[in-house]
Amino acid sequence: MYSLIKKILFLLDPETSHTISLKALKWCHRLGLTKLFSTKIKAPCEFMGLHFENPIGLAAGLDKNADYVDALSDLGFGFIEIGTVTPRTQMGNPKPRLFRLVNEEAIINRMGFNNKGADYVVKNLKKSRYRGVLGINIGKNKETPLDQAADDYVICFRKLAPFASYITINISSPNTPDLRNLQASAQLDALLTTMKAEQQYFNVEYQRYVPLVVKIAPDLTDDEVKEIAAILIAKKIDGVIATNTTISRDGINESRYKNEAGGLSGKPLQKRSADIIKKLHQHLQDRIPIIGVGGIMDEASANEKWKAGAKLLQIYTGFIFKGPGLIKRLSRTKMSS
């Protein structure tokens, strides 16, 4: 069924087909049709004090504004991460900014945090009926200077934490100029000190501990991974997502889009992100759970992530190329690994 839908969707420009398919999914949900196909995939697990129905989640970027959370939840994800959300609405980069590399099973995107801002997302989440694990991925607006980035993360945390199972601090998108500099030791240490204080304050005020998760890039050196791991432990961060998209073009030979600027995701990212997870796990051991993401397209690539040390997985590009059936297939790998 999905291969037929995909054939039609892949005829359209990627951003148009993205919007159409999500809107169609929402309509199917409203009409009660998704319930007919909805699957509850049971492979329960607990991390960060949260209960996951299964360990396969939707990665950030697909539903930037929480417009589709209820509809997406019918597809069987064990958790859903929305965003990246910035304090204020922003358009993102000019189109075209999303490219499908069909033969490589990959995507290049330079969306640039197009989103409707934290207040809009709050309105949506107030209406949502989803009660599963919801991650909210936050970032800074493009025009906010890097030395004031923490203010943007704090604004987002204060507005969104009441609706979040966990908050992801995104410092690894390649499409917001200089954002990745926040991964450098001094900057990361300062940002996480601020965010831990926010978490603590929220905990005291509202009697709820909202785990903080940091999302890192796949383009880090071994030394950088080691330094980041040390800071995550020192700051008592609750989880880490590895990885975001890559600026490398390894594994892309022929596509006419290979020279497009942006982050590459999907199959060519798989090994690179698994390597980062492995190195991260060597430093963290099991003190901080790793959420593995990057090029998970089938059971074999999922198994590689489990072996590298991931405790939960997320998918984006694999979901686009293989469809919702992938969630169930991947949940089984966990159960048998």
Q: Looking at beta carbons only, is 107 or 327 nearer to ligand FMN?
A: 107
Residue 174 CB, nearest distance to ligand FMN (Å)? Answer: 10
Residue 77 CB, nearest distance to ligand FMN (Å)? Answer: 13
Q: Looking at beta carbons only, is 201 or 250 nearer to ligand FMN?
A: 250
d(CA 117, CA 316): 22
Tell me the residue number closest to ligand FMN, measured at CB. 61
Please report how many Cα atoms fall inside a 13 Å half-sphere around the Cα of residue 194, on the Cβ side. Answer: 19
Angle at 236 between CA 231 and CA 241, to 5 degrees: 70
Angle at 138 between CA 38 and CA 234, to 5 degrees: 110
Residue 81 CB, nearest distance to ligand FMN (Å)? Answer: 7
Which 3 state secondary structure label does DSSP give 223?
helix
Q: Looking at beta carbons only, is 71 or 330 nearer to ligand FMN?
A: 330
Residue 168 CB, nearest distance to ligand FMN (Å)? Answer: 7
Of 173, 265, 273, 301, catalytic:
173
Residues that bind ligand FMN (CB under 6 A): 59-61, 64, 83-84, 98, 107, 109, 111, 113, 137, 170, 173, 215, 244-245, 265-266, 269, 293-296, 315-318
d(CA 318, CA 312): 15
For this structure, is 173 an active site residue? yes
Residue 301 CB, nearest distance to ligand FMN (Å)? Answer: 9
Instruction: Please check whether residue 213 is in contact with residue 239, taking contact to mean a CB–CB distance below 8 angstroms.
Output: yes
Here the tokens at position 92 are 């993102």
Amino acid at 180: R
Instruction: Please check whether residue 58 is in contact with residue 72, taking contact to mean a CB–CB distance below 8 angstroms.
Output: yes
Q: Looking at beta carbons only, is 124 or 265 nearer to ligand FMN?
A: 265
Q: Looking at beta carbons only, is 17 or 173 nearer to ligand FMN?
A: 173
d(CA 231, CA 136): 22
Name the DSSP class of 310.
-
Here the tokens at position 198 are 């926010």
Q: Looking at beta carbons only, is 59 or 284 nearer to ligand FMN?
A: 59
First-to-final CA distance of the chain: 28
Residue 293 CB, nearest distance to ligand FMN (Å)? Answer: 5
**Looking up tokens 């929402």, which residue turns up?**
26
Instruction: Please check whether residue 243 is in contact with residue 82, taking contact to mean a CB–CB distance below 8 angstroms.
Output: no
Sheet with 98-101: strands ordered across: 98-101, 106-109, 263-266
Catalytic residue numbers read: 173
